[in-house]
Structure 1
Amino acid sequence: MQNWLTDIMNEFGYMGIMFLIAFENIFPPIPSEVILTFGGFMTTTSKLSIIGVIISATAGSVIGAIVLYIIGLQLDVERLEKIVGRWGHILRITKNDIHKADAWFDKYGPWTVFFCRFVPLIRSLISIPAGMSNMNVSLFLLFTTIGTLIWNIVLVYLGASVGGSWEVIVEYMEIYSRVIYGILFVLVIVLLYLFMKRKK
């Protein structure tokens, strides 16, 4: 994989990084942690600069987020109501639940988008519910860009600072991901339990 990334970054430079990150946001074949830390490492062995890698990676992230946001727009509240109207009795979800969730996202959406940018995998998928709730585009882009920029700066600088040992950062990020997933799993179980208890 290292040779493949090296070839893309050497041949296409910043455009290659932007494409890789945009593609990773929509369909993650390679985690952004790998691309960003390796991109940081490449600044020590090529003409790529840290600022250039950060800017191109951030642009790619925003492009990918916009695509997922548009997908979310196609799954708006009205369409969800139709789905719930047909299958809600099986899922034990009502139209009122949909409206409550939509109202919650309207209230806390911007900060949810921001903080989710630091959670692997979810950092990309959060764009879909943002679109579903018709979150203000300007706010979505602002919080997406800020959160993504911070994430990119940290990982690119780490990749540049450790040089050839960039894979060590990836290993630590895998541990970070597992911890976050574990916390989210427990949180989802608790929320499901409270939801089912309220329904009964």
Structure 2
Amino acid sequence: MIAWASELVVSAGLIGVFLLMVAENLFPPIPSEAIMPLAGFAAARGQLPIGGVIAAGISGSLFGNAFWYEVARAFGAARMHRLAAGFGRHVGLTSDRLLRAEAALRRNGPAAVCLARMMPGLRTMISVPAGLVALPRRVFYSFTALGTGVWTGGLAWAGYALEDRFHLVEDWAGPVGIGMMLMVALVIGWRVWRAR
């Protein structure tokens, strides 16, 4: 997969970076931890402009996340509540839990969307609850762009700076993302414990 992504990045250029980042956010076949450092590496070699690489990465991520957000927004919280009422008890998803999750997302939505963009697994998933609670589009897209810009820009610059050693980015990007997830889990756990 990585060899194929590398070939696509070089042969398709910025369009390839854009399409790979769209794909990563629709049905994650290749993580951004591989795509963006490869694109940064190509930029360091003079094959692509670094600014274009970052812009293509952010645009692709926005496009992929927009799909899930808009689908979830069209589905709506009312339908989700009906599903929870009918089938939720089988998976532990009650209407009360949904209401609490919605309230938390409305209260912390911008920060949640922004931080999730830097975490493996959550990058795409946060778009669905944000759409279900109809987080305002302006908020969703601006904080998605901010979080994505920090993450993809950082990965592209790391690939650019490391050149031939760009594979080292994968070695630290995964643990950094997991570390951020653990930190968020600890904060949530602390809040739950404090609330009880």
Q: Which range, TM-score by smaller chain? A: 0.7 to 0.9
Number of the residue aligned with 1:29:
29
Number of the residue aligned with 1:6:
6
Number of the residue aligned with 1:19:
19
Partner letter of residue 136 of structure 1?
A: P
1:9 match: secondary structure: helix
Is 64-73 or 53-62 further displaced after alignment? 64-73
Superposed CA deviations along residues 40-81 of structure 1, whole A, max 9, x for unmatched, are: 111122430110100001000000010110222244221122
Q: How much has 1:180 moved relative to structure 2?
A: 4.0
TM-score by length of 2: 0.87
Partner letter of residue 148 of structure 1?
A: T
Partner letter of residue 174 of structure 2?
A: E
Number of the residue aligned with 1:84:
84
Structure 1 pair 42–28 and aligned structure 2 pair: CA distance change class (3 A):
same
Unaligned stretches of 5+ in structure 2?
Answer: none
Contact 2:120 2:174 in 1 (8 A): no
Superposed CA deviations along residues 65-114 of structure 1, whole A, max 9, x for unmatched, are: 10110222244221122122113444454323322221221221112101
Query: Structure 2: how far apart are the matches of 1:187 and 1:108?
Result: 13
TM-score by length of 1: 0.86
Is 148-157 or 2-11 further displaced after alignment? 2-11
The sequence identity of aligned pairs, in percent, is 26
Unaligned stretches of 5+ in structure 1?
Answer: none
Q: Does 1:159 align with 2:159?
A: yes
Contact 2:119 2:178 in 1 (8 A): no
Number of the residue aligned with 1:140:
140
Is 86-95 or 132-141 further displaced after alignment? 86-95
Contact 2:17 2:53 in 1 (8 A): yes
Number of the residue aligned with 1:97:
97
Query: Structure 2: how far apart are the matches of 1:125 and 1:91?
Result: 18
Q: Does 1:43 align with 2:43?
A: yes
Structure 1 pair 95–5 and aligned structure 2 pair: CA distance change class (3 A):
closer
